[in-house]
Amino acid sequence: MAEPALTSALVDCQWLAEHLTDPDLVVLDASWHMPGAKRNAEQEWLACRIPGARYFDFDNRIKDQHSHLPHMLPDVDLFSREASRLGLENHHRIVVYDSLGIFSAPRAWWMFKVMGHQQVAVLDGGLPAWKRQGHTTEQGTALRVLPGQYKASWSPGWVRNATAVLDALSNPACRVLDARSRERFHGEAPDPRPGVRAGHMPGAVCLPFTELLEDGHLLPRERLVAQLNSVLKPEQQLICSCGSGVTAAILALAAEVSGHRQIAVYDGSWAEWGSRDELPLATGESPG
């Protein structure tokens, strides 16, 4: 008998606890921390993880190894090799979590979407909620997994480059949302990356990812819908941006949970846009 398909981009801890031993379910820890946090996500995974969780390293391994930008999408060949190394198969249901609640796990969720994987979801509340609810964890060296035979298939609708974003900024059928803080968006705070300008894309709208979260969980669906409806029309194509393409995926996840179906992430995000002087720059308030 086939296991039930994932019907939402979000699952809760109770659901995961009930399905943790399903043979086709794989749990991935996609924790990542800002460089200034001085935290090692992989070491933390070794110290405490959901039982059986495998570490999904999009900052060092599962990325474009030739880009000067941080953790950019790899091509399908590299993604297929790394997913296979993690023991993944195309038929697997995948649940991704991180150690902060909801922060970096949506990035991995979005990467799988770009790579054509439909059965993938984020654990709402992540590891903190799992521990808070009294579920078991494990530590130490993880059991080795047999390599899988994963084959990625590029889904271009989920990703945009700078050229496409530039075109979208003046297209009323599109909406570019920026997940960074309002201070960084308005250019009132310097960018943390050297050589990157402060400000935002002209025509983009600020929706800080923190305004979609509460206690490490996504807001309830009706509140997400209200937040998104204030800046996005249902028929508009959504492009999500942030500092380096991580928290933009939180906006993408929220839009997916809210029922929006035209969703993409600008992979280079402000790390690219802000470092290219030929791309337009705005500061101060943007029109709603």
Strand 217-218 to strand 213-214: parallel, antiparallel, or no bridges (unpaired)? Answer: antiparallel
Residues 74, 85 within the same domain: yes
**Residue 2, pLDDT above cutoff 70:** no
Q: Tell me, yes or no, whether 131 and 169 share the same domain.
A: no
Shared domain for 42 and 82, answered yes or no, is: yes
Instruction: Tell me the residue type at 79.
Output: F
Integer Cα distance of 166 and 161 in angstroms: 9
Share of the chain above pLDDT 70, in %: 98
Which residues lie below 8 Å from residue 276, measured CB to CB, with a gap of 6+? 162
Over residues 45-70, mean pLDDT: 97
From the candidates 13, 174, 206, 242, give the one annotated as an active-site residue: 242
Looking at the structure, tell me whether residues 38 and 108 fall in a common domain.
yes
**pLDDT tens, residue by residue, 62-121:** 999 999 999 999 999 999 999 999 999 999 999 999 999 999 999 999 999 999 999 999
Inside any domain, residue 141: yes
- Number of structural domains in the chain: 2
**The one-letter amino acid at 9:** A
242 given a catalytic annotation: yes
What pLDDT shows up at residue 3? Answer: 73
CATH number of 214's domain: 3.40.250.10
Which tokens go with 19?
């399905």
How large is the average pLDDT for residues 53-60?
A: 98
251 within a domain of the structure (yes/no): yes
Q: Which domain holds residue 41?
A: 10-154
Task: Note whether residue 103 is domain-resident.
Answer: yes
Tell me which of 154, 188, 211 is where a domain ends: 154
Helix (H) or strand (E) holding 26: strand 25-29
- Euclidean distance between CA atoms 94 and 117, whole angstroms: 9
Give the torsion sign (CA, 30, 36, 40, 44): negative
Q: Which residues lie closer than 8 Å to 24 by C-beta, 6 or more apart?
A: 3, 91, 92, 93
pTM for the model: 0.96
Clarify whether residues 150 and 216 are in a common domain: no
Could you tell me which residues come within 8 angstroms of residue 140 by beta carbon, excluding any fewer than 6 positions away?
A: 46
